[in-house]
């Protein structure tokens, strides 16, 4: 009997399971209901009294050896699961495929940030507009020749409903609903019936600015735009104002910034003039203030409007405006590192 236990003890100590399934078989074989240990304990009764002590000790030793083997096997298989599943959990994660903001959104956000710092709020208006907000209130009555400056898409042959041709329509809505002091910036999409080319599109984006208060002067306009140009294009940037005409401002001007490529020396980007046109502006015409319910005898103000595509083209040296609308990831991915 004692010999039988010794044989089993050798068997157990030399046993090495290859996988958790084998280990479980081993457990059943020895410790299961019909297992070898139960047989031995059953045989214990038959053992003569004088041998009981030695036999009991041998049995306990065997049981302990079995338990040790089970514990050892369990621990080693749980360590191995990481390797055997083929996963290395200590490897650094691969970077997520992050998208990037569209360059036009980047530029719009930057313009908004720059004006936010000097107290401008953001406002929006509808893209489908009526004649009053897009034209008439802005000092462009019916048949006014300046309406031809912007080729308009009308909706369903209704000459009163159109796709806004500029974000100046938002100034009208804002003044109708707010009294001065007004400092607001209105970014948005605009539409014009134009042939698509490297320099023009039938859909594009503008930002409109409006500042109305007591004693707002042309000098305030100039200083505000100089601040914007320096923030947007760099500290060394200079601006130049040229007299111009817009029906909704008097006097009106077009604003150029010194070319950020050649620093004003002349290159093919600025066509050797040293300057690039970026926006239109002027003092809000008293008629416009009146049309919008603001007393022109008490208040004055300035307005400006710029194309976001134009600013983005200058800032990122993009030569073809159509790239902004094609959504080619090879183009868009180049703006990944900018926020
Ligand atoms: N609305 C003009 C355009 O689309 C841009 C503009 C010029 C806006 C002068 C203004 C302004 O507010 O004062 O061409």
Cα 335 to ligand 1 centroid, rounded to whole Å: 28
pLDDT of residue 84: 60
Nearest to 123 by CA among 177, 203, 192, 180: 177
Q: Which of 281, 338, 282 is nearest to 312 (CA)?
A: 338
Distance CA 74, CA 23 (A): 8
Question: 131-176: per-residue pLDDT in tens?
Answer: 999 999 999 988 888 787 778 999 877 889 999 999 999 999 999 9
Q: How far is the CA of 305 from the centre of ligand 1 (A)?
A: 4
Distance between Cα 298 and ligand 1 center (Å)? 23
CB atoms within 10 A of CB 202: 15
Residues lining ligand 1, Cβ inside 6 A: 166, 168, 208, 246, 249, 280-282, 303-305
Take atom 2 of ligand 1 and give the residue whose Cα is closest: 305
Q: Determine the atom of ligand 1 nearest the C-alpha atom of 167.
A: 1
The residue with greater pLDDT, 78 or 299, is 299
Provide the pairing of β-strand 121-122 with 182-191: parallel
Query: Which of 120, 148, 150, 168 should be mutated for ligand 1, with most atoms under 8 A from CB?
Result: 168
Nearest Cα residue to atom 12 of ligand 1: 304
Q: Find the mean pLDDT for residues 105-132.
A: 97
Pocket perturbation via mutation, ligand 1, pick of 280, 283, 307, 308 by most ligand atoms within 8 A of CB: 280
Q: Looking at residue 2, what is its pLDDT?
A: 80
Q: What pLDDT was estimated at residue 321?
A: 92
Q: What's phi and psi for 183, nearest 5 deg?
A: -140, 100
Separation of alpha carbons 202 and 224, rounded Å: 30
Q: Tell me which residue has tokens 């209704």.
A: 158
Mean predicted lDDT score pLDDT of the chain: 91
What is d(CA 271, CA 257) in angstroms, rounded to the nearest whole number? Answer: 13
Q: Which atom of ligand 1 is nearest to the CA of 305?
A: 8
Nearest CA to ligand 1 atom 8: 305
The closest-lying atom of ligand 1 relative to the alpha carbon of residue 282 is 13
Q: Whose CA is nearest to atom 3 of ligand 1?
A: 166
CA of 327 to the centre of ligand 1 (A): 28
Report pLDDT for 336: 82
User: Taking the C-alpha atoms of 4, 8, 9 and 12 in order, what is their torsion angle to the nearest 10 degrees?
Assistant: 180
**203-213: strand order across its sheet:** 121-122, 182-191, 203-213, 300-307, 275-284, 249-258, 239-246
Q: What tokens appear for 61 in the block?
A: 């030793």
Residue of 166, 212, 279 with the most ligand 1 atoms within 8 Å of its CB, for mutation = 166
Distance 303 CA to ligand 1 centre (A): 8
Q: What is the DSSP secondary-structure string of 98-123?
A: -----HHHHHHHHHHHHHHTTTPEE-
Tell me if the bond preceding 181 is cis, omega within 30° of 0: yes
| 7-21, 57-71, 147-161, 204-218, range with greatest mean pLDDT | 204-218
How many whole angstroms from 255 Cα to the centroid of ligand 1? 11
Model confidence at 92, pLDDT cuts 50, 70, 90, reads confident
CATH 3.30.930.10 fits 103-335, yes or no: yes
Which atom of ligand 1 is found nearest the CA of 209? 12
Separation of CA 155 and ligand 1 centre (Å): 23
Name the residue of 134, 170, 182, 246 whose CB sits within 8 Å of the most ligand 1 atoms, as the mutation to test its pocket. 246
What's the longest Cα–Cα distance across the chain? 128
Model pLDDT for residues 46-61, shown as the tens digit of each residue = 888 888 888 888 888 8
Q: What is the pLDDT at residue 339?
A: 56
- Measured CA to CA, the distance from residue 206 to residue 168 in angstroms comes to 9
Q: Encode pLDDT of 285-318 as tens digits.
A: 999 999 999 999 999 999 999 999 999 999 998 9
Ligand 1 center to 254 CA (angstroms): 9
Which distant-in-sequence residues (6+ apart) come within 8 Å of 56 by Cβ?
Answer: 44
| Model pTM score | 0.73
Which helix (H) or strand (E) element contains residue 190? Answer: strand 182-191
């Amino acid at each position: 009997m004692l010999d039988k236990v010794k044989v089993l003890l050798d068997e157990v100590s030399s046993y090495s399971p290859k996988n958790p399934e084998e280990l479980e078989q081993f457990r059943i074989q020895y410790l299961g209901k019909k297992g070898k240990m139960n047989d031995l304990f059953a045989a214990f009764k038959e053992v003569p009294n004088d041998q009981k002590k030695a036999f009991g000790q041998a049995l306990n030793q065997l049981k302990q050896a079995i338990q040790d083997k089970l514990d050892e096997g369990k621990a080693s298989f749980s360590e191995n699961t990481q390797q055997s599943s083929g996963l290395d959990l200590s490897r650094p994660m691969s970077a997520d495929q992050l998208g990037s903001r569209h360059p036009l959104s980047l530029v719009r956000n930057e313009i908004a940030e720059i004006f936010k710092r000097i107290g401008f709020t953001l406002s929006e208006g509808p893209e489908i507009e009526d004649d009053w907000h897009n034209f008439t209130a802005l000092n462009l009555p019916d048949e006014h020749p300046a309406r031809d400056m912007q080729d308009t898409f009308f909706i369903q042959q209704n000459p009163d409903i159109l796709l806004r041709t500029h974000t100046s329509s938002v100034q009208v809505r804002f003044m109708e609903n707010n009294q001065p002091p007004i400092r607001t910036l209105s970014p948005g999409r605009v539409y014009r019936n134009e042939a698509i080319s490297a320099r023009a599109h039938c859909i594009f984006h503008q930002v409109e600015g409006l500042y109305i208060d007591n004693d707002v002067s042309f000098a305030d306009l100039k200083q505000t735009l100089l601040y914007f140009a320096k923030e947007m294009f760099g500290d060394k940037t200079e601006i130049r104002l040229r007299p111009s005409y817009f029906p909704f401002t008097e006097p009106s001007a077009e604003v150029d910034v010194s070319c950020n490529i050649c620093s004003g020396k002349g290159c093919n980007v600025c066509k050797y003039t040293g300057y690039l046109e970026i926006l239109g502006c002027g003092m809000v015409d008293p008629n416009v203030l009146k049309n919008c319910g603001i007393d022109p005898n008490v208040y004055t103000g300035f307005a400006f409007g710029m194309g976001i595509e134009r600013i983005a083209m200058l800032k990122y040296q993009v030569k073809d405006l159509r790239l902004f609308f094609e959504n080619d990831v090879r183009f868009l991915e180049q703006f990944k590192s900018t926020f």
